Structure 1
Amino acid sequence: MKPKIFFLLFILAGIYGCSSDDNADSTPNIPQNSECNNGFAGIYPCNNYDLIAHLPLSTFGGIGITGNDSWGWTDSASGKEFAIICTSNGTSFIDVTDAVNPIYLGTLNTATVASSWRDVKVYNNYAFIVSEANNHGMQIFDLTRLSDLTTVPQNFTADAHYTGFGSAHNIVINEVSGFAYAVGSDTFSGGPHFVNIQDPLNPFGAGGFSGYSHDAQVITYNGPDNDYTGREILIGSNVYEVGLFDVTDKSNPIEISTVNYSNIGYTHQGWFTSDMNYFILGDELDEVNYGGNTRTLVFDFTDLDNPIYHTDFFGNSPAIDHNGYVKDNLYYQANYTAGVNIYDVSNIENNSISKIGYFDTHPENNATNFRGAWNVYPYFESGNIIISDINRGLFIIRKSGT
């Protein structure tokens, strides 16, 4: 059985084979702007992070929908901040400028059918959306349409639609080069599918290479390895290994190196530290397959030709880790049933990573299953952080005392 198919069946069992105490609509009405006091914000366990607002999945329409990915966009003209929340039925947009009073603006429905997997990234004021839904392709939505709406919520339509692939698990964008990379698609055996999006409404395919990739980060490199300064580097989380590729020449992508590690479950997703010296990786199935608490791995990427395992660090529960992102010296990790955990990685060179806070969107338990926080977006200038939860929708949190 192909790794992708096995993983899909496994995660479906985790999402839908769960007990009745995890129903999405069972959340009581929690007051907005609940400070984290004595370890709780309302019913939600927390430390050092307050609940600013919560919008349940029912806000976004549909019965029995589930949440998945999320991202954010800031309108440079107005300074307004917007959350983009993906669900099984489509992609919803929320004005979170006044974070205590978020405004649901409407939804762009799925291009074909519902799917538990949808992913979104942003480039040049456009959202680019892919899904595991059959024949979905890539929807392109002009986010500037959100800034001056007079009637909400609306049923939005896409501004463009790329059909060079059908289904795709994930999308990655290098905002410097203006290229999108669909991974886990039905092209290139699931390997990265390159799309030139420099003219967002007129995207075109630019090649790709074979070898299934679940997720990736693509950057224009300015890290410590001078051999690759200015090159476009793709770091793929490829089920059983991390792969580094030079994709500067789209007609001739070059494998730089690969690196793996012990007790591989499913090499899921990773992110560079701000100085590009280290790469922080989440393995989605190691807790399931091997037991133990949440394990996050760190690799030394100072020499891209010779990446090496550096260290790992562990959470306080057996919850499964999902997506993680770095902003400055903090690593924000969506940790499914354990919510979102925030780590200080400023001393990662000396194997010192410390948890500075958390917000648990799944108060029932920290079990090893696929419930709770799917994604976290920490990049708003305001300091507000959005979390997309499979069962409970959108949370907006903020560091206490800020």
Structure 2
Amino acid sequence: MSGKLARSVFALLAAVATGLSAAAQWSPTQEAVAQQDAVFAGSVEPCADGFAATYPCGNVDLLSFMSKAELGVAEGSLNDVWGWTDSQTGKEYALVGLSSGTGFVDISDPEAPWLVGTLPTQTLQSSWRDIKVYRDHALVVSEASGHGIQVFDLTQLRNVTVKPVTFSPTAVYTGVGSSHNIFVNEESGFAYAVGSRGGDLANCGPGLHIVDVRTPEQPTFAGCFAHAGTGRAGSGYSHDVQCVIYDGPDTDHTGREICFGSNETAISIADVTDKQAPFAISLATYPISQNTYVHQGWLTEDHRYFLQNDELDERNGLVSLTTTRIWDVADLDAPFLLTTYEGPSGAIDHNLYVLGSWVYMANYQSGLRVVDLTDILNPREIAFFDTFPSSDAAGFSGAWSTYPYFASGSVLISSIGEGLFVVRPPLNKTNVDDEDPNGPAASLNIFPNPFADVALAALRLSEPDEIRATVYDILGRRVIEVGPIRLPQGVTRGIPIDAAGLPAGRYVLRVSGSSTILTRLITVVK
């Protein structure tokens, strides 16, 4: 095993072990109620009797909280949040969108986060900022006029001793002015700025402004796409987008780069493989979509379903409860609305992300909601954490976004007027109301995914078993095998998957034993 690989494995194992150790030490006795503007440093607030400190909760513990003032925006607000894990050190960082710029918070000790530094806004302050990560670089956009895309080398965070530091961008892409959002397809190395206004040198308009970031410090223009007839002005405006190298059930599109755009009035599905000649595949609407706001959405990991939120259906009184629409996209040419999930209140749903069989929703005034998609026709809420206890109404306050992809199990919530919450749904619980009478469910999650060299398969078994972890390529050839390994019941263990010698592409990880069969798609990038 190489030194770099050994460090990566050690960092990942340490992250999981830290999370499991903390979970094992959580006391059922609730700590004294703390003030909202304090950091909960060194003292986990377990979710007990429906509260973690002063926050309503179910099955989610509060690890720490940083107020707006501690993030440097006492008079401002928070917006987006994303995460970065340092592949060399295993440290986890929250990348926090602020009205004045971007904050970098070290959460490697999730009970004692600290602000490493900030990247000021490129031009003006703004309530809208969005951040994604590609190859240890953050890409930041804002609706501030003339902002462009800031590129920031995150490895600068490693050696900060005097804090907080005011950083400068590593590079700035000026081919676009303001943008509402950005997405980076880590498999292809292309970024997609959307909702752009002004300063667009390529005249892409408000649809997809495509940027080649395979060399992050030298971003270059790659192409445009706008789905005609979508958006309130019919201009193809995209409010948010997710782009993937498609590996779902529609084999006509396997291996193509497909974008799923949330375009105010419709869902846009487009093929952007050829950046100079992208084309629309289909669009999806529903009866009220012309009068509400198709805001954002995310695919399930098998690319079979697309979960979508609407920012105005609750606000305009067109639905009485938080409504998430679940689309069947097994045929990309003919998507259809399969079902809807209704939450417990009338709060507005804002941003959602899928990890395994769970979807993590940031639903403004009702906070973080975690929903189990195992039965896609009957999703059920299994956990929640309310960052805005005073109301669950259809207002634009509370949880803006969430990030659930850390190997440690820590989950981030950015709450607009409150601050940054670091929480964790306990790894050994499967239901908010009671324990599973049949024991803990088996689970398999991959962190990170996609990955370049090594990932960790976090495996929990429903009964003791001797298992093997096998990786197959798309032709069904066995390329990696780990085991046999004897594992106990109900304990999450990390199995390193060394893909350093594999070419980039999609693979299948299969964990099998005498009573166990679990599979996951994994993606290797180079």
TM-score between the two structures when normalised by the length of structure 1 = 0.92
1:225 Cα deviation from its structure 2 partner: 0.8
Q: Distance in 2 between matches of 1:156 and 1:360?
A: 33
Greater RCO structure (CA 8 Å; 6+ sep): 1
Q: Is the 8 A contact 1:30 1:42 kept in 2?
A: no
Q: Partner of 2:474 in structure 1?
A: none
Shift of 1:400: 2.8
C-alpha displacement of 1:63: 3.8
Q: Does the Cα contact within 8 Å between 1:238 and 1:267 map onto a contact in 2?
A: yes
Aligned sequence identity (%): 47
Which residue pairs with 1:340 in the alignment?
A: 368
- Judge conservation of contact 2:249–2:330 (CA < 8 Å) in 1: yes
Asked if 1:287 is matched to 2:314, the reply is yes
Compute the displacement of 1:28 (Å).
5.0
Q: Could you say which structure has the larger radius of gyration?
A: 2
Distance 1:73 1:98 in 2: 14
Query: Does the CA-based 8 Å contact 2:78-2:416 persist in structure 1?
Result: yes
Q: How does 1:3-402 map to 2 (within 5 A)?
A: 27=36, 29=38, 31=40, 32-186=43-197, 187=200, 188-210=204-226, 211-264=236-289, 265-289=292-316, 290-348=318-376, 351-400=377-426
Alpha-carbon distance in structure 2 between the residues aligned to 1:35 and 1:299: 35
Q: Contact conserved, 1:69 with 1:119, CA < 8 A, in 2?
A: yes
SS of the aligned residue for 2:218 comes to coil
Aligned amino acid, residue 288 of structure 1? R
Quote the offset at 1:274 in angstroms. Answer: 1.2
* Unpaired stretches in structure 2, ≥5 consecutive residues: 1-34, 227-235, 429-526
- Contact conserved, 2:73 with 2:98, CA < 8 A, in 1? no
Alpha-carbon distance in 2 for matches of 1:260, 1:180: 26
The alignment partner of 1:51 has SS state of strand
Residues paired across the two proteins, number? 375
Matched residue type, 2:98: T
Instruction: Please report how far the alpha carbon of residue 30 of structure 1 lies from its aligned counterpart in structure 2 after TM superposition.
Output: 6.8
Q: How far does the alpha carbon of each residue in 1:280-337 deviate from its partner, in whole angstroms, 9 at most, with x for none?
A: 0000000011141100000001010111110001011110000000000000000000
Letter in 2 for 1:203: P
Residue 370 of structure 1, CA deviation: 0.3
Contact 1:241 1:259 in 2 (8 A): yes
- Equivalent residues of 1:35, 1:400 under 8 A apart: no
TM-score between the two structures when normalised by the length of structure 2 = 0.70
- Partner Cα separation in structure 2 for residue 133 and residue 268 of structure 1: 20
Distance 1:365 1:260 in 2: 31
Q: Could you tell me which amino acid in structure 1 is paired with residue 223 of structure 2?
A: G
Distance (Å, rounded) in 2 between the aligned partners of 1:93 and 1:307: 39
Q: Residues of 2 paired with 1:212 and 1:206: CA distance?
A: 18
Q: 1:154–1:49: structure 2 CA closer, same or farther, 3 Å change rule?
A: same
Q: Flag structure 1 segments of 5+ consecutive residues without an equivalent.
A: 1-25
Provide the alpha-carbon RMSD of the alignment.
Answer: 1.1
CA spacing shift, 1:110–1:365, aligned 2, 3 Å: same
